[in-house]
Structures are given as structure tokens and as C-alpha cells.
Amino acid sequence: MRKVNAAYPTSLQIDFVQDTFFGPVAHSAQCEVQLAPLNLNGLPGLQMQVRAPVPDKLERSHSLAFTWEGRTYRGIVHYHRRCDDGGLQLQLELQ
């Protein structure tokens, strides 16, 4: 996977799932992101930097999927944090 240039974020349609008391709820949003490969204790991972504005429920999602450069990626959210610029950083374990 090539690293996306920080000066040129990529626009992706992200499908994500949030757990609720009533069961999993699926959401989808168009986001500007930057991607980078990541090693999560020997497991393939991905760091995703979502630029503001961040969809409301994305921060509380437990898994997500998107297509980039013709390939579909699916991952479990291992870590998330809000950034000072209003963006969101996610670390995903790829499935």
C-alpha cells in the first residue's frame, strides 16, 4: 500500500458499524482521509487520519470498511483519538 501524501488527502466512502443497546447500526459517510500502513503487534494494520468535519458516529464505531485504489479494506478499530485540528485518528487491525 502506498502512503497518501498529507498535502493531498483522499476522499473515501467509509462504511462503519456502531454497537448500540439495540444491536449493531450501520452508517456510511464520505470523508477526507490520509492512510498509512501500520504494524499492530505483528498484525497488519492501517492508520487513518480523518480530516474535519468528522461524521458524528465515526468516533464510536467498532469496525469499518472502504474501497481504495480498487481494493476493499475492512478493519476493527483498535484505537481512536480526537486531534487538535478537529480530525480523528484511527488505528485499524485489517481483516
Q: How confident is the model at residue 7, as a pLDDT?
A: 53
35-39: Cβ within 8 A, 24+ apart? 35/1, 35/3, 35/4, 35/10, 35/68, 36/3, 36/4, 37/1, 37/3, 38/91, 38/92
pTM of the model: 0.87
Q: How confident is the model at residue 49, as a pLDDT?
A: 95
Q: How confident is the model at residue 90, as a pLDDT?
A: 97
Q: How confident is the model at residue 79, as a pLDDT?
A: 95
Q: How confident is the model at residue 87, as a pLDDT?
A: 96
Q: Which residue's C-alpha cell is 498509512?
A: 36
Q: Which residues of the chain have pLDDT under 50?
A: 4
User: Could you give all domains of the chain from N- to C-terminal order, each with its CATH number?
Assistant: 10-94 (2.40.10)
Q: How confident is the model at residue 69, as a pLDDT?
A: 87
